[in-house]
Amino acid sequence: MNRITWVDNLRGLSILAIIFLHSTIAVHNNAGHFTLISNTMNEMLAPVRLGLMFFVSGLFVDVGLKKGLGPFINNKIKSILYPFIVWVAIYGGLKIVFSSMANTPQSPLNIILSHLTGGGDMTWFLHSLFIFFLMILVARKLPFYVVFLVCMFASWALPAIKPDSIFASFDNSHINKSFYLFVFFYLGDYVVRKQIDLAERVKKTSVIGLSLASFALLSCLNLFIVQGAPEAFLSPLALLSVPFFVWIAAHLSSRIVYYIGTHSIVFYLSHYLAIQVFSKLVKFESASPWMNDIKFIAAFLAALALPWTICLMRSRGWLNFLFTLKKSAKPLQEKAV
């Protein structure tokens, strides 16, 4: 079996965008000389950053179902539900142990329930992804416009979880966000079912031109006009922006991005541990923008170093139990775009 390079590149770019965002959070948005560019990039990428991850995941629905419904679900239990449980124990356990140091202390019951219902730090992605792989069994039988309209209405209309609820979390609108992101997941599956070769389609000037214009308009609206507006209102432009990022991934030649993409679950789940430790240990404030530059770069490098170290350990047969119940497979051959 071969790996398709642009798919892993796209996944790697999405993970890097998430790490970049969390690195700015680690330094309380004071990234020195990088502050303006980091704030601008994070705002521009907000409507598509996580959507691209779900889009890539959707690309693998069809090939999984061809093996049969039983093996399909069993695979998702081993590769998604299992690491979800493991990392709920890790993040939830650490939050309980160090609750006295948290900015917003929570009871142990509140922490456990928020994680198990998809509101936990980092683990919410696996929670939503597992549900998406079940939802798609029905949704893929429906026209795109029906799925889009239902999900966007739900994303916009559903009330957020009340802050005083025992299910409250760091993001009480995570259910709304999941409906918004499911359309990206559906789109990935749709592309494969319709046998659309995206890598070829984005070579067309009309396709890439429309997608680039959509992302430019989306960025302008998000930055200057409709700040704070529900994501559902911007979703058509966000979906039209996907081919532009596929084009970038198809033309990108970066071993680092590709490596992160092929080890995406490790980088996604573990980098935030480094971010949390860094933000707790490096608390000193400085008026010097140069010192803040160093803090931001150090946070970013720390968030890459921990997952990279874990990947090296996994290559030697260690720590694989943290991410999957499946046995280690032989490295897949890279397939050119």
Task: Tell me, yes or no, whether 191 and 114 share the same domain.
Answer: yes
Helix (H, G, I), strand (E, B) or coil at 168: coil
Of 196, 224, 258, the residue at which a domain comes to its end is: 196
Give the pLDDT of residue 227: 67
Q: How would residue 101 be classed by pLDDT, with cut points 50, 70 and 90? A: low
Is 228 in the same domain as 290? yes
Q: Are 23 and 296 in contact (CB under 8 A)?
A: yes
Residues 155 and 214 in one domain: no
- What is residue 104's predicted lDDT score, i.e. its pLDDT? 67
What are the pLDDT digits (tens) for 143-187? 999 999 999 999 999 999 998 888 888 888 999 999 999 999 999
Residue 202 pLDDT > 90: yes
Residue 285 tokens read as 């404030």
Query: pLDDT tens, 232-270?
Result: 888 999 999 999 999 999 999 999 999 999 999 999 999
pTM of this prediction? Answer: 0.93
- Do 250 and 324 share a structural domain? yes
- 60-79 pLDDT tens trace: 999 999 999 999 999 999 99
Q: pLDDT tens digits, residue range 108-130?
A: 888 888 888 898 889 999 999 99
Give the number of domains in the chain.
Answer: 2
How many Cα atoms sit within 13 Å of 196 on the Cβ side?
Answer: 16
- H helices of the chain, where? 5-26, 35-45, 49-58, 61-65, 69-76, 82-97, 108-116, 123-139, 144-157, 174-193, 198-201, 205-220, 231-240, 242-251, 255-262, 264-281, 289-315
Residue 284's domain comprises 1-47+205-337
Which has the minimum average pLDDT: 51-55, 153-157, 276-280, 325-329?
325-329
Does the pLDDT at position 1 exceed 70? Answer: no
323 φ, ψ to 5°?
-125, -15
Q: What is the mean pLDDT of residues 55-62?
A: 97
Q: Which of 146, 162, 196 is the last residue of a domain?
A: 196
Question: Do 270 and 310 belong to one domain?
Answer: yes
* Residue showing tokens 């309209």: 149
Query: Does residue 57 or residue 222 have the better pLDDT?
Result: 57
One domain, residues 89 and 138: yes
Q: Are 146 and 263 members of one domain?
A: no
Q: Please return the burial class of 67, using the count of CB atoms within 10 Å of its CB with bins 0-12, 13-18 and 19+.
A: exposed
Shared-domain flag, residues 74 and 102? yes
